[in-house]
Structure 1
Amino acid sequence: MQRQLKWIVLALAAFTIMGSYYTYDSIAPIAELLRNQRGFSQQQIGSLNAVFSLPNIPLAIVGGILIDRIGAARAALAATMLCTVGAVLTAIGDPYGLMVIGRLFFGLGNETLYIALLVGISQWFHAGGTALAIAIFFSLARVGSYAADTSTRWAAPAYAMGWQPPLWLAAAFTASGLVTALAYYLIDARNAHLRGAGPPSEHFEVRSLVGFGRSFWFILWLNVLFASVFFPFRSTFSIQYFQDAKGITLGQAGVANSWVFFAAIFATPVVGLVADRFGRRATLLTVGAGLMPLTFLVLVATDWPLWVSTAMMGVSFSVIPAVIWPATAMLVEKRRIGTAFGLVNMLQSLGLAASNYAAGWLNDKFKAGPRNVDGYDGMLSLFAMLSCVAFISTVLLRIRERRREGGGIEAVVVTSAASPHQRH
């Protein structure tokens, strides 16, 4: 019974987050429309995704603690409701302040939803296969991002009507997640005895935020670096950059950008399967991190088709869900998984907000646009620098893991293989 239900839970979780992924990525396809039809600056456009992350700097950890207290399924349902409210306010979107508030609400709900579903999957797959399950979760969820990018073609009539109809379409996708979140909650409530979850914490202690091993902090740092490059470029500025720098249409830019998640849809489960079966997590991280700076080198220094660089970025980012999140779940106690994920997302949100804002500021400072393509050099240099720091960090992590006899991200593979019911 547990075997069948855990796959149903995985499917419901993936469909729930899929709508939110679509909505998060709905800003990049309309960036040019916002610039031309509403006169938004690059910094204002960047702020729409920066404000998504800002509230989660202090509140992501609160969401993680709350999940540990009230349960992942209940928290996911409440968060989906908040996401829907935020998506609707963003779609109304006039004046600009209302759009910002909508993205703020959406960000508040989305990060808690994200953490809750990851915790829920970790609990239902506690007996084995965590890396593959989380990889499949992200692979299916990123269909939402792929759909958002390609919507410039399959929903072209909506874009022809202006900036607002595409945002209403995004709100509808987010609202559909309420149905699957409710179904997940009902299944989880009736079968709580089948999932693996430690007893809830009776009270919160500040020391619980720092009582993690050194490998956990390495993993957290890498997550922040990866996310600070990947999401601000791909989900905020890439489509606009492709149009201006490569001279292509909105539809062509959306399709080119979609290759990031099209590649990840297939690469992520493969990486997850390898991580579950063979381990080598630090090695996988090093390979993934090495691809990221190469992505920007190919993008800027060659005339290769855009899909080459975007597919490379998709493969690179596949290691995050397939390696980092499962490793995080394995390195902490079950009753503290929500808190650990919340701490990761808190610092990740800080990186996302700072990177989005900085990239928009650099584009405005150097007057980036179709008439000044070189103005994007500042933004691209920022992302390339962060990519190189991430690569160097993964190399150092791999050296450290090879010198250790146990206890790191490689050791959890050995532990889980020997005793699949003891993942702490």
Structure 2
Amino acid sequence: MIDRLIIGLAILLMVGNNYAFDIPQALEIPIEKEFKLTQTQFNLLYSIFAVPNIGLSIGGGIMIDRMGGRWGVFTFSLMLGLSQLFIAFGGCYQKYYMMLVGRAIFGIASDLLHIGVFKVIARRMPHCLGTAMGLILTVPELAAALNSFLSPYLFEKTHSLEWPLLFGLSLCIMSFLSGLLMIYLDTKYDTCQAEEPDEEVSLSKFKLSKPFVRMSLITTLMLAAYVPFLDNANKFYHERFGFSIMHAGRIVTVGYIVAALSSPIIGKISDTFSHKRQVLIFVSTLMFFLSHLQLYYMPHSTHPNYMSVFALITLGLSYACYSSILMPALQSTVPDNMLGILFVLLRATALGILGIIENICMATVPMLSGFVYTFLKGEKDRMRDVDIIYLVLAGIGVCLSIGALPDQGKHIKNQKDAIKQLHQQPEENNNLI
């Protein structure tokens, strides 16, 4: 019961993050008009989100390893709220560079907050990691869906960026309070009796393995085929498929809703058929490829093309697979010479290493798509050509997944043995703490 409550609070903790992250996407055209931005300058609001993390992710992962997941949750949820306050001021007073600085700080806080949450969850419930991570990553996407509805509505009613940005700030404050309650419950009902091992955790104990590198590339490519596309999804559906700006925002929410609703099912499949994980990884990457294949080959339309919704349904299922299959598969590639609690704790450092790779991609892909869009000025269907970028990324992921983790069964067996040892020999494991 306590574990379920902690998962629920972790989801609420991510609501403010997911809602505030996508506010620029929902207000893309108003922001471009009020700040007089090009497509590339607008996409910089997303690239700047990732740039600082290229160097900070690994340091943040090590810091959370040493200070603890609870410390990470408190520090970076507070930092998230403060950065959104900075962004709101920038939007209210039309200070573009203030918004950029706020987005950069927001990106640092968001990335490290995820690591802190994953560490707390992985330590408490390693036996159902696929389901737990799937819920924590996808259910808050409903907040992103709410943003696509509510932010344009608030702007339309007030003709100001102030209220949409301040509402995002209020959700960040609510998330911070949820994080405080999560920390309290995790401390009070800590089944491991202490949070950190006596033995110092350092990067030197983590060695890169071929399965880890390959899974890092796969997860990065799939995330790059999902997040940067949705950053411009409103404009994509407006220009390619004939929806109005308001209607496009509502249509885009389909992907978020499908991801949230399908995640518990896919998470259960991931946990039940972990011995077939190689097949599940291939299917996950194929789903991303098929979603962009639909978006690429659907004809351009000046009237609403509701058939394009099927691509969003596929994309939503793809993200549920990313959260419930690809991310747990990545964590299972952490070196298997770590047993018991140490086996779980070093995953934060692993996520930090992954963060470097992801943030390089997340910083460059939005700028690349903005450059292509600007370069093709005058073309009738230039958004279709922009989607080639995401199609190629997903295609490379499919190729990598065909031979992904040939020794995955060995890692899964070692992981299960470590968990079994953790539960069957509590006294011996407690000596590690």
TM over 0.5: yes
Which residue of the other structure, out of 382, 394, 407, is the alignment partner of 2:401? 394
Who is 1:36 aligned against? 33
Alpha-carbon contact 1:135-1:272 (below 8 Å) kept:
yes
Distance across 1 between alignment mates of 2:220 and 2:327: 12
Distance across 1 between alignment mates of 2:314 and 2:414: 28
Which residue of the other structure, out of 228, 231, 249, is the alignment partner of 2:227? 231
Who is 2:115 aligned against? 115
**Structure 1: gaps spanning 5 or more residues:** none
Who is 1:355 aligned against? 365
Alpha-carbon contact 1:124-1:195 (below 8 Å) kept:
no
Q: What CA deviation, in whole Å up to 9, does each residue of 1:331-379 have, x standing for no partner?
A: 3322311101111122111110011111111111212xxx744222442
Q: What CA deviation, in whole Å up to 9, does each residue of 1:200-243 have, x standing for no partner?
A: 653635x345x143222221111110111111001x11111211
Matched, 1:272 2:270: no
Q: Percent identity?
A: 18
Which residue of the other structure, out of 380, 384, 390, is the alignment partner of 2:391? 384
Which residue of the other structure, out of 372, 375, 384, is the alignment partner of 2:382? 375
Q: What CA deviation, in whole Å up to 9, does each residue of 1:263-289 have, x standing for no partner?
A: 111222111101111222221221121
Who is 2:374 aligned against? 364
Distance across 2 between alignment mates of 1:150 and 1:224: 28
Which residue of the other structure, out of 318, 324, 327, is the alignment partner of 2:326? 324
- Alignment CA distance shift 1:242-1:406 (3 Å): closer
Alpha-carbon contact 1:139-1:269 (below 8 Å) kept:
no
Who is 1:290 aligned against? 286
Matched, 1:161 2:174: no
Equivalent residue letter for 2:388 = S
Deviates more, 1:348-357 or 1:138-147: 138-147
Equivalent residue letter for 1:320 = Y
Alpha-carbon contact 1:69-1:201 (below 8 Å) kept:
no
Who is 1:133 aligned against? 132
- Alignment CA distance shift 1:188-1:34 (3 Å): same
Question: Does the residue aligned with 1:318 lie in a helix, a strand or coil?
Answer: helix
Q: What CA deviation, in whole Å up to 9, does each residue of 1:239-267 have, x standing for no partner?
A: 11211222211221111111111111122
Distance across 2 between alignment mates of 1:9 and 1:193: 13
Distance across 2 between alignment mates of 1:17 and 1:362: 32
Distance across 2 between alignment mates of 1:162 and 1:38: 12
Alpha-carbon contact 1:198-1:334 (below 8 Å) kept:
no
Alpha-carbon contact 1:14-1:141 (below 8 Å) kept:
yes
Who is 1:305 aligned against? 307
Deviates more, 1:12-21 or 1:186-195: 186-195
Matched, 1:192 2:190: yes
Alpha-carbon contact 1:200-1:335 (below 8 Å) kept:
no
Who is 1:260 aligned against? 255
- Alignment CA distance shift 1:139-1:47 (3 Å): same
Alpha-carbon contact 1:259-1:310 (below 8 Å) kept:
yes
Cα drift, residue 393 of structure 1: 1.0
Within 5 Å, give how 1:211-230 maps onto structure 2: 211-230=207-226
Distance across 2 between alignment mates of 1:73 and 1:378: 44
Q: How many residues align?
A: 407
Which residue of the other structure, out of 403, 407, 411, is the alignment partner of 2:410? 407
Distance across 2 between alignment mates of 1:382 and 1:65: 33
Distance across 2 between alignment mates of 1:416 and 1:278: 19
Who is 1:340 aligned against? 350
Q: CA RMSD in A?
A: 2.4
Distance across 2 between alignment mates of 1:112 and 1:323: 21
Distance across 2 between alignment mates of 1:16 and 1:200: 29
Cα drift, residue 36 of structure 1: 2.1
Alpha-carbon contact 1:197-1:335 (below 8 Å) kept:
no
Who is 1:144 aligned against? 143
Matched, 1:61 2:58: yes
Equivalent residue letter for 2:332 = M
- Alignment CA distance shift 1:305-1:416 (3 Å): farther
Equivalent residue letter for 2:269 = V
Equivalent residue letter for 1:344 = L
Alpha-carbon contact 1:259-1:311 (below 8 Å) kept:
yes
Alpha-carbon contact 1:268-1:318 (below 8 Å) kept:
yes
Alpha-carbon contact 2:81-2:169 (below 8 Å) kept:
yes
TM-score of the aligned structures, taking structure 2 as reference length: 0.87
Distance across 2 between alignment mates of 1:62 and 1:328: 19
Which residue of the other structure, out of 242, 248, 252, is the alignment partner of 1:247? 242
Who is 2:337 aligned against? none
Alpha-carbon contact 1:57-1:349 (below 8 Å) kept:
yes
Deviates more, 1:49-58 or 1:332-341: 332-341
